[in-house]
């Protein structure tokens, strides 16, 4: 795995900081410029829409001025008063003079055209216009009426709208009205179609119903109802200002200006991406400049770090690596500036001090004459002197032994735990006497001492081991101890023999005396025994009689125990039936608990449905609030649905708590039934044990009866035996006489044995004196 360098870290850190600053700056500038550019474009768009709206207002005012001028002319008034010839001539002159009008005519109070002409010089007199809104408006008392819709002329290729003015007589009485029909195409061709904003922006005009009455780009949309489209809804909702919308997958901006007299909406649209192109280009340029600045800063910092820090630090690293490898003669070279110069001086001083300390430590180790080694915390040899290798007959050198485990070096088994490893694990020094078999076949008796040593911070550095060869001393000691052991063993055995002989002689003498006394008492005892045998015979007869009565009582007890065993069998059957019923009831309670859990699951589903319903009702209320008045009724329904969902949640919670109570009750009942079944099972077992015990009692009572009968028979036999005892007593008297003669001979043998014991004690004293002399010599 590749190591990460300090230069990389510092460069990345600086790059990150610079990048963050550039990103923040670019984001701020681009956002600010984007906002400013967007506002400027929106203002320009709004100004174009407003300017077009004002132009349209002027155009409508011109049409209204024409209508007003006609309404005040005497010829027009006379035509409505009953002289249509005069107004007819006037209208012909006007239609000839104003080519931007499609028709000019007057109508009476019934909506009939009195006189007038269209652009094709057709006489319009006699036409019925009573169903037109502008006629109805004038007849309803309005002085000036503008149609809010644009319509097609009879030719089909000309769009017109109507401005009607009330005509009154000299007395102020309403006579009818005059209507002028400007050609809408003339206005749109001159003031709407040429308008462009950028390369994709254009103008359009909507009437109050959302119908397109002018479009600077797509003539196929003319007179189409677009009230359902997003842009039309936005325009009709805002009336004034700038808004954005989506059209055919592209984001658009639209400025809206309202025409007051007709309610028409002049809309100026533009492609949003085109509007913000300048800001986007500026942001791209800022990003490019930021990347270049970042690259320059990172490169400069990387070069400065490499020359001022990394190269000197690399030299320090190589120097430290050489010293670590044991090359204490290495020198620190390179150019060091600023703080690194002080670092170089300190490193050189540190290495000089290390040389001094290491030289002192190496001198101490080399000067140790005894077998010694140092083991690291991981159990491997760090240092070993030649005395250890020579003592233990090791096939290694001090250099080749380094890095091997003590088990591998001393025993050829890397997994074996040695005293040094036990010392490191125990955390304290240890001592041990052991026999070591070298690889050359020698057996050494060694005393090994281990101790731990630490650095100045208390960190464990390793374990120091010392070996002391006690093989010669131990062999001499063992020989002396073996001789002493043999002598001591012989003396101890002789002492024991002498003591036993003396004790036996004393005991034998005492027993001879006791035997003599016993022989005298034996005769008297025999007489007493004869009287006791007579009494024993009488007692045996009483025992035989009592044994017969006891046999009868045992027979009655056996019959009673048989009846008890039958009752216990019936009790066992009843308890077994109760246990079976309890087990069935426990199974039923388990099914009830499972069904209650199923109901709880269903109630959880109902609760989730209520939560979703509540969330949907809340979302519906939010959407209804966005829709305004149009969604007010839907908001009421959504609120009722939400309340119903909340009631459902509360009811579900109550039912869930009830189900939980049922589940807990069912669970407790099931647990208690299980305990009851266990108690019934215990009762069944006890009843079965009682039956078994009664059966054993019956058996024992029968056996007791047999024993009692046997006792009676034995008593009769004992009565006969006492007669034989009397005969044996007579024989004992003869044997007592013979024993007295034998005791006299035993007394002589005891005296000879005592003399032999004294001779043996003298011999033991001489052996002990010889043992003391041997110990003094050793």
- pLDDT of amino acid 169: 93
What DSSP state is assigned to residue 2? P
Q: What is the mean pLDDT of residues 581-608?
A: 64
How does residue 341 score in pLDDT terms, banded at 50, 70 and 90? confident
The helices-and-strands tally (H runs, E runs) of the chain is 16, 18
Share of the chain above pLDDT 70, in %: 65
CA–CA separation, 229 vs 248, rounded Å?
Answer: 11
Q: Which residue has the higher pLDDT, 166 or 354?
A: 166
Is residue 637 over pLDDT 90? Answer: no
- Residue 410 tokens read as 């001393």
Q: At what angle do helices 184-191 and 6-71 cross, to 10 degrees?
A: 150
Q: Using an 8 Å Cβ cutoff, are 286 and 280 in contact? A: no
* Residue 190 pLDDT: 92
Residue 486: which pLDDT band, with cuts at 50, 70 and 90? Answer: low
Residue 770 has pLDDT above 70, yes or no: no
Q: pLDDT for 454-479, tens place per residue? A: 888 888 989 989 888 888 887 777 77
For 486, the token pair is 């043999």
Q: How confident is the model at residue 592 (pLDDT cuts 50, 70, 90)?
A: low
Going from the C-alpha of 380 to that of each of 377, 388, 418, 425, 433, the distances in angstroms are 8, 15, 11, 14, 22
CA distance 436 to 448: 11
CA atoms of 436 and 391, how far apart (whole Å): 10
Lowest-confidence range among 156-170, 183-197, 413-427, 675-689? 675-689
Phi-psi sector, 164: left (phi>0), alpha (psi -120 to 50), beta: beta
- pLDDT: is 55 or 324 the higher one? 55
Q: Please tell me the distance from the alpha carbon of residue 595 to that of residue 537, in angstroms, as a whole number.
A: 85
- Say whether pLDDT at 680 is over 60: no
The pLDDT value given to residue 732? 56
- CA nearest to 513, candidates 750, 754, 753: 750
Q: Give the tokens for residue 456.
A: 């100045």
Average pLDDT value for the chain: 78
β-strands 443-454, 460-469 pairing: antiparallel
The pLDDT-based confidence of 248 (bands split at 50, 70, 90) is confident
Q: What letter does residue 668 receive in the DSSP assignment? A: H
Minimal CA–CA distance to 429: which of 383, 391, 466, 404?
466
Label residue 61 by pLDDT band (50, 70, 90): very high
Q: Is the pLDDT of residue 651 over 90?
A: no
Q: What is the mean pLDDT of residues 599-616?
A: 62
Going from the N-terminus, what domains does the chain have, and what CATH number goes with each? 192-275 (3.30.450.20), 368-469 (3.30.450.20), 476-774 (1.10.287)
Judged by DSSP in three states, 181 sits in strand
pLDDT (mean) for 84-107? 92
Q: Are strands 265-271 and 250-258 parallel, antiparallel or unpaired?
A: antiparallel
Alpha-carbon distance of 636 to 634, in angstroms, equals 5
The three-point CA angle 179-146-236 to 5° equals 155
Q: Are 314 and 332 in contact (CB under 8 A)?
A: no
Q: How far is CA 506 from CA 222, 502, 509, in A?
A: 155, 6, 5
Which residues neighbour 160 within 8 Å (Cβ) at sequence distance 6 or greater?
Answer: 102, 103, 150, 151, 152, 153, 181, 182, 183, 184
For the cut 70, the answer to whether the pLDDT of residue 262 exceeds it is yes
- Of 262, 280, 240, 259, the closest CA to residue 45 belongs to 240
The residues, any chain, with a CB within 8 Å of residue 336's CB and separated by 6 or more, are 312, 343, 344
Residue of 326 and 99 predicted with greater confidence: 99
Element of type H or E holding 777:
helix 632-777
pLDDT for 140 equals 95
Higher pLDDT, 417 or 591: 417
- Unique residue bearing structure tokens 């104003």: 98
The answer to whether 660 touches 600, Cβ cutoff 8 Å, is yes
Task: Tell me the pLDDT tens digit for each residue of 115-153.
Answer: 999 998 999 999 999 999 999 999 999 999 999 999 988
Q: Which has more pLDDT, 591 or 519?
A: 591
Task: Give the tokens for residue 59.
Answer: 């155009």
Q: What are 262-265's contacts with CB under 8 Å, separation 24+?
A: 262/60, 262/146, 262/147, 262/148, 262/161, 262/207, 262/208, 263/148, 263/207, 263/208, 264/56, 264/148, 264/205, 264/206, 264/207, 264/208, 264/213, 265/205, 265/206, 265/207, 265/208, 265/235, 265/236, 265/239
From 52-66, 179-193, 425-439, 638-652, the region with the lowest mean pLDDT: 638-652
DSSP H or E segment with residue 767 = helix 632-777
The CA-based angle 94-100-104, given to 5 degrees, is 40
User: Percentage of the chain surpassing pLDDT 90?
Assistant: 25
**DSSP structural state of residue 73:** -
The three-class DSSP label of residue 307 is: helix
Q: Which two tokens stand for residue 443?
A: 């057996």
DSSP, residue by residue, 585-633: HHHHHHHHHHHHHHHHHHHHHHHHHHHHHHHHHHHHHHHHHHHGGGGHH
Token pair of 429 as six digits: 């020094």
736 compared with 98, residue with greater pLDDT: 98
Which has the minimum average pLDDT: 397-406, 585-594, 702-711, 739-748?
A: 739-748
pLDDT at 74: 93
Write out the E strands in 86-195: 101-107, 113-118, 144-146, 151-152, 159-160, 163-168, 174-182
Segments of 151-218 assigned E as strands: 151-152, 159-160, 163-168, 174-182, 196-197, 201-206, 212-215
How would you write 344-379 as a 3-class SS string?
HHHHHHHHHHHHHHHHHHHHHHHCCCCCEEEECCCC
| Whole-number pLDDT of residue 343 | 81
Q: What is the pLDDT of residue 1?
A: 47
Question: CA nearest 180: which of 146, 131, 221, 151?
Answer: 146
Tokens of 221: 């949309």
Instruction: Report pLDDT for 307.
Output: 73
pLDDT digits (tens, 9 = 90+) for 508-548: 567 656 655 665 666 566 566 656 656 756 766 665 576 56
């Amino acid at each position: 795995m590749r190591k990460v360098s300090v230069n990389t870290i510092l460069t990345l850190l600086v790059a990150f900081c610079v990048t963050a600053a550039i990103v923040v700056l670019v984001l701020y500038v681009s956002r600010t410029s984007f906002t400013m550019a967007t506002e400027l474009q929106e203002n320009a768009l709004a100004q174009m829409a407003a300017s077009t709206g004002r132009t349209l207002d002027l155009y409508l005012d011109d049409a209204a001025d024409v209508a007003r001028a006609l309404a005040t002319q005497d010829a027009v008034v006379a035509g409505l008063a009953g002289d249509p010839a005069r107004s007819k001539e006037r209208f012909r002159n006007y239609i000839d003079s104003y080519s931007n009008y499609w028709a000019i005519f007057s109508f009476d109070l019934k909506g009939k055209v009195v006189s007038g002409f269209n652009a094709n010089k057709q006489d319009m007199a006699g036409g019925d216009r009573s169903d037109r809104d502008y006629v109805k408006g004038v007849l309803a008392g309005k002085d000036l009426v503008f149609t809010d819709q644009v319509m097609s002329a009879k030719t089909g290729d000309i769009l017109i709208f109507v401005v009607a003015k009330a005509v009154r007589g000299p007395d102020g009485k309403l006579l009818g009205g005059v209507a002028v029909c400007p050609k809408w195409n003339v206005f749109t061709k001159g003031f709407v179609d040429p308008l462009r904003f950028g390369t994709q922006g254009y103008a359009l005009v909507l009437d109050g119903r959302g119908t397109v009455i002018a479009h600077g780009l797509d003539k196929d949309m003319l007179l189409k109802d677009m009230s359902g489209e997003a842009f039309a809804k936005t325009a009709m909702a805002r009336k004034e200002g700038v808004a954005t919308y989506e059209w055919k997958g592209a984001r658009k901006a639209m400025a809206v200006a309202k025409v007051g007299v007709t309610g028409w909406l002049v809309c100026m649209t533009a492609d949003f991406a085109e509007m913000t192109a300048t800001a986007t280009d500026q942001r791209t340029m800022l990003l490019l400049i930021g990347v270049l600045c970042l690259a320059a800063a990172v490169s400069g910092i990387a070069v400065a770090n490499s020359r001022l820090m990394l190269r000197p630090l690399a030299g320090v690293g190589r120097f430290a690596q050489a010293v670590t490898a044991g090359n204490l003669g290495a020198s620190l070279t390179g150019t060091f500036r600023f703080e690194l110069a002080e670092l170089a001086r300190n490193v050189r001083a540190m290495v000089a001090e290390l040389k001094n300390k290491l030289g002192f430590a190496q001198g101490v180790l080399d000067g140790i004459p005894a077998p010694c080694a140092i083991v690291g915390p991981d159990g491997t040899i760090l240092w070993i002197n030649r005395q250890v290798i020579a003592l233990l007959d090791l096939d290694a050198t001090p250099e080749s032994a380094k890095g091997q485990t003590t088990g591998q070096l001393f025993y050829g088994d890397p997994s074996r735990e040695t005293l040094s490893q036990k010392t490191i694990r125990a955390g304290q020094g240890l001592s041990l006497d052991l026999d070591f078999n070298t690889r050359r076949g020698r057996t050494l008796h060694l005393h090994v001492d281990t101790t731990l040593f630490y650095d100045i911070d208390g960190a464990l550095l390793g374990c120091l081991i010392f070996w002391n060869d006690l093989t010669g001393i131990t062999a001499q000691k063992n020989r002396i101890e073996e001789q002493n052991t043999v002598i001591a063993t012989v003396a101890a055995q002789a002492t024991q023999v002498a003591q036993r002989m003396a004790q036996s002689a004393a005991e034998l003498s005492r027993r001879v005396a006791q035997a003599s006394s016993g022989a005298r008492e034996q005769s008297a005892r025999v007489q007493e025994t004869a009287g006791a045998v007579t009494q024993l015979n009488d007692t045996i007869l009483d025992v035989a009689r009592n044994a017969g009565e006891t046999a009868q009582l045992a027979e009655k007890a056996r019959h009673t125990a048989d009846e008890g065993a039958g009752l216990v069998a019936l009790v066992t059957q009843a308890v077994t039936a109760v246990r079976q019923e309890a087990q069935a009831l426990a199974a039923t309670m388990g099914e009830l608990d499972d069904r209650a859990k199923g109901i709880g699951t269903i109630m959880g589903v109902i609760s989730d449905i209520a939560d979703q319903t509540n969330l949907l009702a809340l979302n519906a209320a939010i959407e209804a609030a966005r829709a305004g008045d149009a969604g007010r009724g839907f908001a009421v329904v959504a609120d009722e649905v939400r309340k119903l969902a909340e009631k459902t949640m509360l009811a579900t919670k109550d039912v869930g708590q009830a189900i939980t109570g049922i589940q807990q009750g069912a669970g407790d009942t099931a647990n208690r039934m299980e305990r009851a079944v266990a108690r019934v099972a215990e009762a069944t077992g006890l009843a079965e044990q009682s039956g078994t015990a009664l059966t054993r009692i019956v058996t024992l009572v029968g056996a007791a009866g047999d024993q009692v009968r046997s006792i009676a028979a034995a008593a009769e036999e004992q009565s006969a035996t006492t007669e034989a005892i009397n005969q044996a007593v007579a024989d004992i008297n003869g044997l007592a006489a013979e024993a007295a003669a034998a005791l006299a001979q035993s007394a002589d043998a005891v005296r000879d044995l005592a003399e032999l014991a004294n001779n043996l004690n003298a011999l033991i004293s001489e052996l002990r004196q010889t043992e003391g002399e041997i110990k003094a010599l050793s």
